[in-house]
Structure 1
């Protein structure tokens, strides 16, 4: 373990240096009124001693209904504040990574997690029928020539088209990544923050085509870098899948000679043109991502590795898992204490607040079990929630890596004198 002994000199009434840092691995705004997160871990130096509150052993509250933001993941969130040689310091680190990731203890603030497997953050399920991709719309033809040419197989064609829509009508939007983390360090009034993304990309899953990558995210994004993914590759994939399914369905279910080849080709092209018009409307109105989001004041700096906003078009035609998702939020600075924090500092109390998860408290299966403070380093924790039918959180399992606090004090300011 890399460490640095820090001795707090007695502070006089005239000078009372303060430092404060906090971290939240994941924050999910389900709606304007519903917000869940992994809990906040805070370290505050009040001029005499450091007071810690919250939890640095984060657990994920799963979302209500059938929606599931994550299936498997590892979270890291830690913070520290101290006085050294008359200067106050604070630092924080927070991250989300895939299963098998490990927390690392380092002193230079360059990283707080070693990536494992890839993890997907599920943002929304798109329903093309809600977009307007119905059988009636796709077969709509102002000249009626399509229906006239189809003649006796008109009803059968409608059945085939309906079947095709059911196979391609559900698209899943998500962010795939090995790790996303932010770090924040403050020395007096000097603030430094950064973000690292490991193999991160925005993807849309098209049934029968797999994941279509619509945006690659940089490893070391510049401050407040914004990306709005272009959905045009998804449009191409959907139309290609529709073409394949229609060709197969029309050939296999309509007897040879009943539907002329030229009519079949015209029909497929007509359907694809109608569908393309609908998809065009959401090609640049899917999600908005801000990487390395930084918000600085005179006394503090807040850094979020990824801030993801689901745009309005998605909300109208799908089921967003969340309206806004913030991954890896770290805050550091010399901001003052709240009244409750001053009281805790005066008493020397150290609080460890477990994550609070809403749900049916009468159902024991809805509770989230968090590893106790004396959990061994690198212990794994499995979380299960009750069925959505009881109003609790969606069923799912989350493997959390719980590291001992001493092993994750990356921020012990090894380079304080650099």
Structure 2
């Protein structure tokens, strides 16, 4: 995913804080820059400007947030953190421990967040039992995006298991078509690997491996099989995949250049931007072998302690409040392809992919099949996640890697990062 660094400009500091429409500063560090994401950011900008707060953009291209985190660390250490920054899971806790985050409890109480947010989500947004971050959505990562026209041309059937995937991919490849759209970036390799791991390991062992960091599971024969299945995927990816961005791979499925893509539901925003209709122009199905499982990711903004004026604090609280309003929740998630994080949302405007995702989310939360995504920085610390991604991507880039050796390498990398 690309990065964006949005800077929202200075407030008029001489305005008294008691003014009904005080103009304040907000500065948000994030990486929502694909077409669907950028449209949602534009709406957020408009909503903040309607509240008389200024907004200034500065986009930075990049991967899944690495460059954004480098900028954030530099700003925080220099004593000039942004109003809010896109942080997830363990990163929220780490910044909280370092004392950089501010409490949003007053906004949360006023807006009744404890009752409108799922507990699993609310807990991630809190440090030491205090709200310090705002969730914006819930992503399902274990999706397979399908172009049915390509499948029909190849005489292939949409797969529901890994075995069926390889049968379909072989037919598509034999027809002279690209079976799997992919971008050769480490985080995309990890996203593909993650869905295969979920299918092979099952929810319980997935959690043991990537949340609990259980070395018995990591070094198991089942993990060898994960790497075997992962290795097989390489044969169905075109040779031009190196460095390709995720949304460019999605465009390949949209345009019929490729049959399938493993990617989170942010990909749906790209289909929506060009007017494609789910169930007709494209299909959204669970990644093969993961029908009843849900690998979740949450986009969230953590809020930092500010040294600005009182109107800056007003603007910060207005931003926090705006992010969870039903209006923004609806617009953002319709554009981005995710589902709203509020439990009380009217879903009538959402398509079948979103309705299926919401149903799967609720069912998985009851069955124990709701697991955090390691590829999207939610399951473990940034250091461990980086170690896993490095091993996975290096394995995928090798000409003829040995799956039997990969689990021990993965174990060593994780141990060094703990």
| Band of TM-score, shorter chain | under 0.3
User: Normalising to structure 1: TM-score of the pair?
Assistant: 0.23
User: Normalising to structure 2: TM-score of the pair?
Assistant: 0.23
Higher strand share: 1
Bigger-Rg structure (1/2)? 1
